[in-house]
Structure 1
Amino acid sequence: MKGTYRILIGITGGIAAYKVPHLIRLLKKKGAEVKVVITKGARGLVGEETLRTVSGNPVYSDDLSLYDMDHIRLSEWADLFLICPSTANTIAKIAHGIADNLLSTLALSIPETKLMLSPAMNTVMWENQATRNNIQTLKDRGISVLPVGSGELACGVCGEGRMIEPEQIAEVAISFLGKSDILKGKKVLISSGPTEEPLDPVRVITNRSSGKMGAALARQAMLMGADVTFVSGRACHSLPSGVKVIDVVTAEQMQTALCEHFKTADICVMAAAVSDYRPVNYFSDKIQRNENGNITIELTPNPDILAGLGKVKGNRFLVGFSLESSAGVQRAIAKMEKKGCDMIIYNRAETSLGLSTNRVTILGKDGFCEELPVLSKDETARIILQRIAERLIGAHA
Structure 2
Amino acid sequence: METYVIVVAGFGVLVLLTAWLPVVLRVLPLSLPICCVGIGAALSLVPAIGELTPHPGTHPTLVEHATEAVVVISLMGAGLKIDRFIGWKRWSMTWRLLGIGMPLTILALTLLGSALLGLGAAGALLLASALAPTDPVLASDVQVGEPAEDNEDEPRFALTSEAGLNDGLAFPFVNLAIALAGTSGFAGVPWSHWFAVDVLWKILVGAVLGALIGRALGWLTFHLPNVSKLSRTGDGFVALGVTCIAYGCVQAVDGYGFVGVFAAGLALRASSHGHDYHRKMHSYAEELERLLMMVLLVGFGAMLAAGGLLQALTWTAAAFALIAILVVRPLACWLGLLGSGRSREDRAVVSFFGIRGLGTVYYLSFAMGHATFAQADLLWATASLTVLISILMHGVSVTPVLRALDRRMGRDTESAQLDLTLSHP
TM-score interval for Structure 1 and Structure 2 normalised by the shorter chain: under 0.3
Larger radius of gyration: 1
Give the structure with the larger strand fraction: 1
TM-score normalised by the chain length of structure 2: 0.24
TM-score by length of 1: 0.25
